[in-house]
Structure 1
Amino acid sequence: MAMNEVGPAPASAVVLFRSLGDPARLAIVMRLAEGEARVVDLTRGLGLAQSTVSKHLACLRDCRLVDFRTEGRQSFYSLTHPELIDLLRSAENLLARTGEAVALCPVYGDPAREIAS
């Protein structure tokens, strides 16, 4: 399929975006873009419970977006593909251009925002 043709999204793309669709996982990815971190760093920095961070790190590891290295008894997590941040920056640029359209999308948007508008 040529780049200008639009067809069904590949299943792997759907899974990638679903893995980033959770606010906690996205926050973890954004934090790891700044450099590697331990679970304790993520819980403190993001205000999430240790079990929540561990669960989401496991998901991101299963998707091979995050990996870890051990040093003594500590594990340091990092992004496996730094180009993921380029994808997120592109998404931010697109969202800046679409204004409120995505937030107000009747299927995927935030119903609270729609009511508030």
Structure 2
Amino acid sequence: MTMNITDDGSTATTSCGAPSAAVALFRSLGDPARLAILRRLAEGEARVTDLVSCVGLAQSTVSAHLACLRDCGLITSRPQGRATMHALARPELMDLLASAEQLLAATGEAVDLCPTYGTHPQEPTR
């Protein structure tokens, strides 16, 4: 996932005026596996195999999520022997997630029941 930067270095905007970089950031955070990976990396560096056991996904899937997070500048990777160690690039990301948790504590049910993005209660079957 890449962020849209114009030729002059400014951030591009969407048709509604939202900064494209903000849209890309929140899309990168919009996957449960990527959030789980970020939470694990907040505890310290980890190898792909550590993350596979943490999120319970295939190694190739975890690697794809790591590539997305790396492309967004949210994590870094460095070789260590035959492995690659991954870490948070921006610790303030955890502040953003903590703020999101506070917002969800205040609006959680409304967000969860949102007909566009939340979960939908099951209709009773007849």
* Shared fold per TM-score greater than 0.5: yes
TM-score by length of 2: 0.81
Counterpart position of 2:77: 68
Query: Partners in 2 of 1:63 and 1:74 — Cα distance?
Result: 22
Query: Partners in 1 of 2:69 and 2:108 — Cα distance?
Result: 29
Query: Partners in 2 of 1:99 and 1:28 — Cα distance?
Result: 22
Counterpart position of 1:115: 122
RMSD: 1.4
Identity %: 66
The code of the aligned residue for 1:73 comes to R
Are positions 1:92 and 2:101 aligned together?
A: yes
Q: CA deviation at 1:115?
A: 2.7
Q: CA deviation at 1:11?
A: 1.1
TM-score by length of 1: 0.87
Counterpart position of 2:10: none
The code of the aligned residue for 1:94 comes to L
For structure 1, list consecutive stretches of 5 or more residues without a partner in the other structure: 1-6
1:101 alignment partner, SS class: helix
Counterpart position of 1:23: 32
For structure 2, list consecutive stretches of 5 or more residues without a partner in the other structure: 1-15
Residues 25-82 of structure 1, C-alpha deviations (whole Å, 9 max, x = no match): 1111111111110000001122111011001001111111111111111110001000
Query: Partners in 2 of 1:97 and 1:24 — Cα distance?
Result: 24
How many matched pairs? Answer: 108
